[in-house]
Amino acid sequence: MINKLAVLISIALLAGCSTQASRMSDCESQGISKDACYIAEQNKQASVTNAAETAALRNAAKSVEQTTYQPFKTHLAGLNIEANAQGQMYVDGKPALITEDNVDAITYQQGGFDIIHYKRTHKLFVLQNGKIVGRGKI
């Protein structure tokens, strides 16, 4: 997402591609003082920088929001499964290892069990030896 934003900002800046010297010259040719043209140029560059920083901060905030986990506790396939706000899962009180984390799901492993937590649907699947032995919604 940040890369797309950087490309869009670059395209927007290049669309009106002119050097600072040429913009200053155009401004002065309109009868405006050199000092006023300089201040206008500095303000323009500051506004472009501020817009880029604001967009970057907004994207960073969205990224942080997406990595925040909703804690839960449930009982599936005879196991007590709980997760804390940091995304650490516990199976019968023992910490589970994250074996995969992608956009759609996080897969944990504890003992002979694999637990798949689907982020968007909030469904949980418990597998033992590759077979589903429990499923539920959290």
- The pLDDT confidence band at residue 90, using thresholds 50, 70 and 90, is very high
Q: Poorest-confidence range of 48-52, 62-66, 73-77?
A: 62-66
Mean pLDDT over residues 47-62, rounded?
A: 76
Predicted confidence at residue 74, as pLDDT, reads: 92
Q: How far is CA 80 from CA 19, 35, 75, 88, 92, in A?
A: 65, 71, 5, 14, 5
Question: Model confidence over 96-117: pLDDT tens digits?
Answer: 999 998 888 899 999 899 999 9
More confidently predicted of 136 and 23 = 136
d(CA 76, CA 4): 41
- Relative to beta strand 94-95, strand 79-83 is unpaired
Predicted confidence at residue 66, as pLDDT, reads: 55
pLDDT greater than 60 at residue 64: no
Mean pLDDT over residues 47-75, rounded?
A: 75
Predicted confidence at residue 22, as pLDDT, reads: 80
- The pLDDT confidence band at residue 70, using thresholds 50, 70 and 90, is confident
Predicted confidence at residue 56, as pLDDT, reads: 77
More confidently predicted of 99 and 5 = 99
